[in-house]
């Protein structure tokens, strides 16, 4: 389980663009993994009850890892983030050129609150102005990047061997100026090729993995049903003792017993239906 915590920590750190080292304390790693899983919407409470020393929970971590594979396409996301960039990528800027400059006065924006719940509108205006300034700075840097990229493509037009492309990329132009950097680029390309080969091998074995995970889920469901039935028997035995001293609670206890029997009957019917559907699905596969 400790190695599984470290694995999830390393993978999720890459997804969220943070730096990670193996020397980080294990409790910090576990806290980060739990917060990242909560951010992505993983709602199984058993994972968040695991101890912070990493001494237990290997099956819960396996379930969370499989959920990440299916929910956020973890491997594809890692390949996209670790891809060797040539420098020609640029995003389409969707922000408006003319941002609205008209702002209401302080008296118009400030709501009327009492002295006990007064809000400092000037601080909110300062935050809004800071956000707008950073957004404009980002927009200006994006435009400058596009201009420089266009200059490289324009000056190297007609120099590429591929006539369809016609111009050098940023990486190719840098290699022309500094040919000694090709060794580092070659190492990066070899690393990316190894990752792609591993990903292709995983795609061939992926059906076996999910078939195995179905058995893990079935075992966990059976254990959960056993725990629920034990809890139900305990509660059922405790209920008459707790309400025997109340003469008006007999009718309520009878209604609760009938409701419990109905729920147990419905649960058994649903369990039979799920088993039948699963058997039919396995035969179809």
pLDDT of residue 162: 77
CB atoms within 10 A of CB 274: 11
Two tokens, residue 252 = 């309520």
pLDDT of residue 120: 81
CA dist 221 and 216 (Å) reads 9
pLDDT of residue 25: 86
pLDDT of residue 94: 55
pLDDT of residue 258: 82
| DSSP code for 157 | T
Q: What are the 10-residue block averages of pLDDT along the chain, 285 residues in total? A: 92 82 83 92 91 88 94 91 79 54 42 54 91 94 91 86 81 85 88 94 94 89 69 48 50 78 88 88 86
**83-115 burial, b if ≥16 CB within 10 A, otherwise e?**
eeeeeeeeeeeeeeeeeeeeeeeeeeebeeeee
């Amino acid at each position: 389980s400790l190695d599984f915590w470290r694995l999830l920590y390393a993978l999720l750190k890459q997804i969220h663009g943070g730096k990670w080292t193996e020397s980080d304390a294990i409790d910090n790693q576990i806290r980060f993994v739990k917060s990242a899983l909560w951010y992505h919407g993983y709602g199984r409470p058993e994972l968040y009850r695991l101890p912070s020393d990493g001494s237990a929970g290997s099956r819960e971590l396996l379930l969370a890892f499989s959920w990440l594979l299916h929910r956020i396409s973890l491997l594809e996301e890692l390949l996209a983030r670790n891809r060797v960039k040539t420098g020609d990528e640029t995003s389409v800027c969707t922000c408006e050129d003319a941002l609205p400059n008209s702002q209401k006065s302080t008296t118009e924006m400030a709501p009327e609150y009492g002295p006990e719940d007064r809000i400092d509108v000037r601080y909110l205006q300062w935050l809004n102005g800071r956000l707008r300034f950073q957004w404009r700075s980002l927009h200006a840097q994006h435009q400058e990047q596009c201009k420089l990229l266009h200059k490289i493509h324009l000056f190297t037009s007609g120099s590429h061997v591929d006539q369809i492309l016609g111009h050098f990329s940023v990486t190719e132009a840098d290699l022309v100026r500094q040919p000694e950097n090709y060794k580092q680029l070659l190492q990066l390309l070899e690393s990316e090729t190894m990752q792609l080969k591993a990903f292709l091998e995983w795609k061939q074995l992926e059906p076996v993995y999910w078939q195995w995970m179905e058995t893990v889920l079935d075992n966990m469901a059976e254990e959960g049903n056993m725990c629920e039935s034990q809890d139900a028997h305990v509660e059922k035995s405790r209920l008459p003792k707790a309400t025997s001293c109340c003469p008006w609670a007999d009718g309520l206890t009878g209604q609760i017993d009938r409701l419990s029997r109905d729920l147990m009957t419905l649960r058994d019917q649903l369990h039979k239906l799920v088993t039948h559907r699963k058997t039919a699905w396995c035969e179809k596969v």
